[in-house]
């Protein structure tokens, strides 16, 4: 796996330190009462596991399968909800977590759906945000790191299903992307 990585962009220790801060911010900002964390699969599962364990609050965790990349390097432009059932969010403060904010379509589509389903408030958190013009006007309330507009893998992010288990975020070698 390592041989396919051009360079490490954010190493493990830096990610973990940043999560300490993000968790404190979330803990301070959220009003008293339960939180429902909605984790977008599969990319956000590593980030969410590390972040949510740092938040000493009553919270429930739901996962949603959405797809916009279909395994490649380019967004398909369409967000599909793949689950048969949508979690019950009526009247809840929701913390929506995704791995990376790119075109913004995923976060915008899921936040809209959560609002339609009756969530009281939708707060968004992403590990990474690409510094680029978005197709949808959306920014996350909590961002771990801003990165350039390049394709990254690791710490939950994949290319064709691989590299999710790397403990850091790295840039894939062009030779590995085919
Ligand atoms: P949008 O464009 O909807 O993208 O903001 C969000 C989803 O696209 C995937 N994505 C990536 N996956 N490396 C990846 O492994 C990347 O650089 C990348 N950029 C976008 C990701 O699934 C995210 O949830």
Taken in order of first residue, the domains within the chain and their CATH numbers are: 13-26+34-149 (3.40.50.2020)
What is 152-163 written as a DSSP string? EEBTTB-BTTBS
Average pLDDT over residues 80-107: 95
pTM for the full predicted model: 0.94
103 and 73 Cβ atoms separated by less than 8 Å:
no
Residue of 101, 157, 159, 169 best suited for mutating to test ligand 1, as the one with most atoms within 8 Å of CB? 157
Residue of 100, 137, 149 best suited for mutating to test ligand 1, as the one with most atoms within 8 Å of CB? 100
For the stretch 65-83, pLDDT in tens is 998 766 566 666 688 899 9
Element (H, E) at 132: none
**Quick one: tokens of 111?**
């936040």
């Amino acid at each position: 796996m390592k041989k396919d990585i051009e360079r490490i962009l954010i190493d493990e220790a830096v990610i973990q330190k940043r999560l300490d801060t993000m968790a404190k911010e979330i803990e301070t900002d959220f009003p008293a009462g339960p939180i429902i964390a909605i984790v977008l699969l599969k990319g956000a599962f590593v980030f969410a596991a590390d972040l949510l364990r740092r938040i000493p609050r009553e919270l429930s965790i739901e996962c949603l399968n959405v797809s916009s990349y279909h395994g490649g390097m380019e967004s398909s432009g369409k967000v599909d909800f793949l689950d048969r059932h949508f979690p019950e969010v009526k009247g809840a403060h929701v913390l929506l977590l995704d791995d990376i904010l790119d075109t913004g379509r995923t976060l915008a589509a899921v936040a809209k759906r959560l609002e339609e389903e009756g969530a009281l408030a939708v707060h968004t958190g992403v590990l990474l945000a690409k510094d680029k013009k978005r197709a949808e006007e959306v920014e996350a309330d909590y961002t771990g790191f801003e990165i350039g507009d390049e394709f990254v893998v690791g710490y939950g992010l994949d290319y064709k299903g691989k590299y999710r288990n790397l403990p850091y975020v790295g840039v894939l070698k062009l030779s590995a992307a085919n």
